[in-house]
A and B are shown apart, each in its own frame.
Chain A
Amino acid sequence: MEKAIILDDILNKEINIEKYDFVYSGSEFCFKKIPSPDTIKKIKHKNIVLMTPLLSDNSLKKIKKILDLIKISEIVINDLGLLEYLIKKHSEIKINIGRVLATSLSYSLGFGKVKETITKHINAIEIDNLIEKDINLKNKKLHFHYPFSYLTHSLICHFKIDNKCNCFTSYTKLDSAEFSNIYAKQNAYFLYEKNISSNTLIKRMVYHWIKN
């Protein structure tokens, strides 16, 4: 089983990235967290996976620039416009469907036109406890995100103050009379769950770092 860590901050000395086979950089949810080419270059690891969110045309241009400047071997996509670009221009890059896109496409990935136009180009699907039950593919690798499952995200950032992001940089527990396990980070919400699926298609564990 491969092991990966999500690296939000390359200066975070508490994470020993050498312990992991893969390092994930970027964000599945926020286009403001797309790292610059220089930031990616500073990550001293041989297997970097670039995470990307839903993209406006301007954000898509930023990703194209990164891909033109840096050799990326694996990418997590949450936007079909980027998939189009990768198929045409960067067929050497391994494409993983991210959790936003996996949530959106869900069962449809397994058959018909979606299988023919999307799934056949895919290396793996990034899943978590919540997404797993909606993905039923027999021949695709799964990468299991742990311990936070994606619930939703907003693109209207209420944390924005004076035009600057002021969102939670680390997983922050939310007060709720009903739930004891909802967290927010950046512009997304998550469910915290300790269960690890026993699905044999899971080939990689993607760990989310939690501040002590």
Chain B
Amino acid sequence: MDYADEIYFGLKSVKNQRIWYDYLNVSNIDEAIKIIKLAKDKNKKSYIAANEVYSQREIENTIKTIKTLLSNGLDGIILKDINLASYFKNKTDIILSTTAIVFNASALNFYIRNTGLNRIVIPQHLKPSDAIDIMKIKGIQYEIFYFLDVYCRNVAGACKFHFFDGKIREKSNCKFKVNEENIAMRPPSIYDRAKIIYDYNKMGVKYIKLARDGSTDYKIKIIKEVDIMLSIIKKSSSDKVFIQAIKKYF
């Protein structure tokens, strides 16, 4: 926690985009409160990922749980569900998850009106050149994932590979072959992904987020890597200089 400015977590009892993986979720509310308190002690902010949609039955428990966490110092919610957001609108910080699949300024305005969001996590498949109109919207903060560490091939928020037949699989569930050739959707090269981070930084993105996957040691390693990248961006006079430096360090 000393290495990051903010922390977010999933909770087993609150459906979220990584609910299939036990190890990516805090097991109970007491554990979650411990994390929130620890963050407070260290003067950091904490957020819960509640970034799925909820049935009428599920939403009552979700609201109850989040209210308990907020009363213990939680700073906000990463969400996509407009029904959930409408309950917490103007009561806490709302961060719109990538799972809301917002790809244009009109869609973002729709969510702003209906959720009271303060920040959006830009979908990883939205190119910086396609996000210009979105980022003209004032009063919103922008966040991206650290794409060098995590880059899903498919559109987060509209992907059933994890659960469509009721079996939980690891990453291999989206790799297939045709005539012996692997046709899994290839993500961009790490240099292209670094360039996306560079462009978004220059466009005014203030937050860079690490995914939940990986051990604590791995996380610390990645945060240090992010720090190096951000300092290279700061010192680079152009994207070409930046990519040259990235090739040297990564």
Which residues of A are in contact with B by a Cβ distance under 8 Å?
Answer: 54-60, 79-85, 100-101, 103-108, 110-114, 117-118, 130, 150-158, 172-176, 182, 184, 187, 189, 191
How many residues belonging to B are interface residues under a CB distance threshold of 8 Å? 54
Q: Which residues does chain B contribute within 8 Å of A187, judged by CB atoms?
A: 185
CA of A117 to CA of B83, assembled, Å: 10
Contact: A113 with B104, CB < 8 Å? no
Q: Which residues does chain B contribute within 8 Å of A79, judged by CB atoms?
A: 103-104, 107
Contact: A84 with B106, CB < 8 Å? yes
A174 to B, closest residue via Cβ: B176
Stretch with Cβ within 8 A of A (4 or more), from B156-164, B199-207, B228-236, B238-246: B156-164
Given A84-B106, A113-B83 in contact, is the A153-B176 Cβ separation under 8 Å? Answer: no
Contact: B178 with A84, CB < 8 Å? no
* CB of B110 within 8 Å of the partner chain: yes
Q: Which residues does chain A contribute within 8 Å of B174, judged by CB atoms?
A: 152, 189
Q: Which residues does chain A contribute within 8 Å of B85, judged by CB atoms?
A: 113
Contact: A172 with B161, CB < 8 Å? no
Given A54-B155, A57-B105, A156-B153 in contact, is the A108-B161 Cβ separation under 8 Å? Answer: no
Contact: A84 with B185, CB < 8 Å? no
Contact: A175 with B106, CB < 8 Å? no
* CB of B36 within 8 Å of the partner chain: no
Taking CB atoms and an 8 Å cut-off, the chain B residues in 142-168 that contact chain A are: 153-155, 157-161, 164
Q: How far is the CB of B210 from chain A (nearest CB, A)?
A: 20
Taking CB atoms and an 8 Å cut-off, the chain B residues in 173-221 that contact chain A are: 174, 176-180, 183-188
CA of A81 to CA of B107, assembled, Å: 4
Contact: A81 with B105, CB < 8 Å? yes
- Residues 115-156 of chain B: 1 if any A CB is under 8 Å from the residue's CB, otherwise 0? 000000000011100101110000000000000000001110
- Residues 70-82 of chain B: 1 if any A CB is under 8 Å from the residue's CB, otherwise 0? 0000000000111
Q: Which residues does chain A contribute within 8 Å of B80, judged by CB atoms?
A: 104
Contact: A156 with B185, CB < 8 Å? yes
CA of A40 to CA of B183, assembled, Å: 31
Contact: A172 with B178, CB < 8 Å? yes
B154 to A, closest residue via Cβ: A152
Contact: B185 with A151, CB < 8 Å? no
* CB of B53 within 8 Å of the partner chain: yes
Q: Which residues does chain A contribute within 8 Å of B177, judged by CB atoms?
A: 174-176
B153 to A, closest residue via Cβ: A154
Instruction: Specify which of A101, A158, A184 lies most central, judged by the most chain B CB atoms within 10 Å of its CB.
Output: A158
